[in-house]
Chains A and B, each alone.
Chain A
Amino acid sequence: MTNFVASVFSSSNYWFIVLRSTAPILLVTLGAVITEAANIKNMALEGSMLWAALMGVVVSAWTGNAWLGLIAGIASSVAIALILGLFALKLDANPVLCGVALNLFSSGGTVFVLFSLTGDKGISSSLSSKTLPFLHLPYIENIPWLGSILSGQNIVVWISVLAVVIVHLLLNKATIGRRIRATGENVEAAKSAGIDPVRIKFLTLAISGVLAGIAGCFLSMGYTSNFTSGIAAGRGYVANAAQVVAGGTAFGAIFASLIFGLTDAMATYLQNVGMPPELIQALPYLVTILGFIVVTLIRDHREIQRKRRLFEGDTGSTFGRGPGRPHQTTGEAAS
């Protein structure tokens, strides 16, 4: 067993697959992080991905250009996110229920449209769709082990890395990020500061739509080269769990989506050892839940420790235990 694990982890092919299967999850998780920062749950990410995957294939087959497909995919994905906003923010619907409804609408709607266009319910192979380009990196290619992992990845893998940085900067450095977080923390306070919370929430939904759109297009135009029914396979839901694991930060999203990516990539290897494929397919979802529990346990533990330290620090300062301590604890409390 240890031999097997060692051989898998040392194989460059494994890490290649890890990067490939982490990228879509990472993008959607970032989408979930940004809407959650404004305190609105986008459960419709799954539906957004489905429409993006379908429209990407359809438009790229129709125009013969993968980039136009990507744009159409993103547009349809944003449309779903904005419909969610319309119902949840303007018509007072429960956003979670609306998300579920939109996912149902999308899972049926994509198959309906696919069947109406191609006469096939399962797969879009009759459409000659394009794929997004795979990047062969000129010098890195030649590095022995690392080169075969990094080179030859789809461009979306690199877009997902870029997206982490952009979302991080957006949330922490930009004015709009401060507005988003203010809306998420206290709507009334944000309003009194002149922020329109509804507009901010719409904006975050649109951004998450863009991210889910790229992820959806990647699934049908890079990860595989066809649209198949239910291609998102619950990744939108996984993203909502991964967002909690990420703790609301862009860099946390890398860690959270890696949990899924590592297990997902491991699945193909476990199959070779003779584990039944059904149980392997269940593994990524199970691990995401377990990861969620572990992270919550750690966070609770830290919270208890923090409170204890705060308490001790308070008493410590009154009894003159150390001058640095209270300052440090207040700093932590603020974070």
Chain B
Amino acid sequence: MKATTKRKESVFRKIGYFFSDKEKLEPTLVIIFTALFSILLGVGLIFLVSKDPVQSARNFVLGPFMRTYNIYYLIIAMVPLIFTGLALCIIYQLHYMSLIVDSSFYMGAVIATAIGVNVALPAGVHPLLAMILAGLVGGLIGILPAILRIKWRANELVSSLMLNYVFYFVGSYIILYFLRDRNQAILASLPFRSTFALPKLIPNTQLHAGVLIAILFIVLVSIFLYKTRWGYQIRVTGANPRFAAYAGIPVATVVILAHFISGFIGGVGGAVEMAGLYRAFIWQTNPSYAWDGVIVAMLAKRNPKYVPLSAFFLAYLRVGADFMSRRGDVAFEFVTLLQGFIILILASDKISNSLKIRRLRKAALASEQESKARTTMPSTEGNTL
């Protein structure tokens, strides 16, 4: 009895600490503020263009929770965002800007398709092999912009965007010429073997085991970045590459390793998406989850711990927009417009740091006054003596 009350208290106290510790609270607050702001902005846009704005806005804001199917869909929509978000967290820890994760993800899906169609294996091993191979290919693709930057000082963002076009065309070439189902009118690969599908967590829904893999990766990347030597080296290199080099960290190796791991995560993400959600490769264009990953990683402040929350927010926006566009006259692309705007707001330090700056200024003022008080005391003593 006593023990339980004590425990309850400690939980409350913990919550109290959480809310009083502004350092910890801030990322969560930023995510919530951004979410509210972008929902408001989205509703405003809907009222600007829709003929039936109230219904469309209702579908957009409440749609994700209106049906159980939509809630499952919301959880599944988080999976690719978590993978690309985690991959970009690592890149952003390095203070690099590469967006090659897009290629890693897409080619991961292509490789997984090839294995899902052509290789005969027992149920559990089949998707696992696909994920590992897709990850390796994704990782190898991922290091290309890093090599270009280190060897030839090519801006990694520009080269990765160009490579994204190259790999998109190469991937669709592989699907079209080696894996295409010629009986289908639309562009689709041959159907996957039945052993390739990931098991469903709840039967007769879309909720697949990929969610668990995504959670596993969140934990793994958290540990990797904050508890291992490699992770530490990555963070130091990102914070100050010159210092890292002086401290004896092999900067080039660390950068390439980080890109490999980031690409690996992207590749696995592509494979999970294929094995979990689809029966054949049916992407007509590149879904470009990397761009969503940019927001996820930025909102999470490059910390994998906050990735689920920011992925949830983005998935909510996307599912809401999807639900609305199917039932109204507003195009789904308006969510892309919102996303661009969110990145703009998040990227501008003056806006996103205004909270922090105000707090720091207050703290500085307080400490200044304190030190003033301290310095004046002995000086008066000195005068009297």
Residues 88-99 of B, flagged 1 when their CB comes within 8 A of A and 0 if not, give: 000000000101
Residues of B with C-beta under 8 A to A102: 340, 344
Is B49 an interface position by the 8 A CB rule? yes
Residues of B with C-beta under 8 A to A244: 154-155
In the assembly, what is the distance between CA of A103 and CA of B331, in Å? 18
In the assembly, what is the distance between CA of A100 and CA of B158, in Å? 10
Is A323 an interface position by the 8 A CB rule? no
Residues A107 and B336 in contact, CB atoms below 8 Å apart: yes
Residues of B with C-beta under 8 A to A121: 331, 333
Residues of B with C-beta under 8 A to A330: none
Q: Which of A67-75, A158-166, A276-284 contacts B (4 or more CB under 8 A)?
A: A276-284
Is B232 an interface position by the 8 A CB rule? no
Is B341 an interface position by the 8 A CB rule? yes
Residues B334 and A293 in contact, CB atoms below 8 Å apart: no
Residues A108 and B339 in contact, CB atoms below 8 Å apart: yes
Residues A116 and B331 in contact, CB atoms below 8 Å apart: yes
Residues A97 and B343 in contact, CB atoms below 8 Å apart: yes
Residues of A with C-beta under 8 A to B165: 234, 282, 285
Residues of B with C-beta under 8 A to A96: 97, 157
Q: Which of A3-11, A86-94, A182-190 contacts B (4 or more CB under 8 A)?
A: A86-94
Residues of B with C-beta under 8 A to A288: 162
Q: A97-B97, A240-B158 are in contact. Are A116 and B49 (CB under 8 A)?
A: yes
- Smallest CB–CB gap between B151 and chain A, Å? 8
Residues of A with C-beta under 8 A to B336: 104-105, 107-109, 111-112
Residues 324-340 of B, flagged 1 when their CB comes within 8 A of A and 0 if not, give: 00000011011111111
Residues of A with C-beta under 8 A to B381: none
Is A251 an interface position by the 8 A CB rule? no
Residues of A with C-beta under 8 A to B155: 41, 240-241, 244
Most buried by A among B45, B97, B344: B344
Is B153 an interface position by the 8 A CB rule? yes
Is B40 an interface position by the 8 A CB rule? no
- Smallest CB–CB gap between A36 and chain B, Å? 11
In the assembly, what is the distance between CA of A90 and CA of B173, in Å? 44
Residues of A with C-beta under 8 A to B342: 101
Residues A87 and B337 in contact, CB atoms below 8 Å apart: no
In the assembly, what is the distance between CA of A41 and CA of B158, in Å? 11
Q: Contact size class for A?
A: 35 or more
Judged by DSSP, the binding face of B is helix
Residues A108 and B337 in contact, CB atoms below 8 Å apart: yes
Residues B337 and A92 in contact, CB atoms below 8 Å apart: no
Q: Which residue of A lies closest to B334 (CB)?
A: A112
User: Of the candidates A94, A106, A115, A279, which one forms a contact with B347 in the assembled complex, judged by CB atoms under 8 Å apart?
Assistant: A94
Q: Which of B4-12, B72-80, B308-316, B348-356 contacts A (4 or more CB under 8 A)?
A: B348-356
User: Of the candidates A105, A234, A278, which one forms a contact with B161 in the assembled complex, judged by CB atoms under 8 Å apart?
Assistant: A234
Residues B331 and A43 in contact, CB atoms below 8 Å apart: no
User: Of the candidates A276, A278, A292, which one forms a contact with B154 in the assembled complex, judged by CB atoms under 8 Å apart?
Assistant: A292
Residues of A with C-beta under 8 A to B233: none
Most buried by A among B158, B291, B341, B349: B158
Is A223 an interface position by the 8 A CB rule? no
Residues 150-174 of B, flagged 1 when their CB comes within 8 A of A and 0 if not, give: 0011110111011101101110110
In the assembly, what is the distance between CA of A43 and CA of B157, in Å? 9
Is B148 an interface position by the 8 A CB rule? yes
Is A135 an interface position by the 8 A CB rule? no
Is A238 an interface position by the 8 A CB rule? yes
In the assembly, what is the distance between CA of A237 and CA of B97, in Å? 14
- Smallest CB–CB gap between A230 and chain B, Å? 9
Q: A93-B348, A237-B161, A279-B169 are in contact. Are A101 and B337 (CB under 8 A)?
A: no
Is A296 an interface position by the 8 A CB rule? yes
**Can you list 28 A-B contacts (CB < 8 A)?**
A83-B344, A87-B347, A87-B348, A90-B350, A91-B350, A91-B351, A93-B350, A96-B97, A97-B343, A100-B157, A100-B294, A103-B340, A105-B337, A105-B340, A107-B336, A107-B340, A108-B334, A108-B337, A108-B338, A109-B337, A115-B333, A234-B162, A278-B169, A278-B170, A279-B173, A281-B169, A285-B166, A286-B162
- Further contacts, 17 of them, CB under 8 A, given A97-B347, A104-B340: A100-B97, A101-B340, A101-B343, A105-B340, A107-B336, A111-B333, A112-B49, A112-B336, A115-B333, A121-B331, A234-B161, A244-B154, A276-B176, A285-B163, A289-B159, A289-B166, A296-B154
A-side residues, CB < 8 A to B, are 41, 43, 83, 87, 90-94, 96-98, 100-109, 111-112, 115-116, 121, 234, 237-238, 240-241, 244, 276, 278-279, 281-282, 285-286, 288-289, 292-293, 296-297
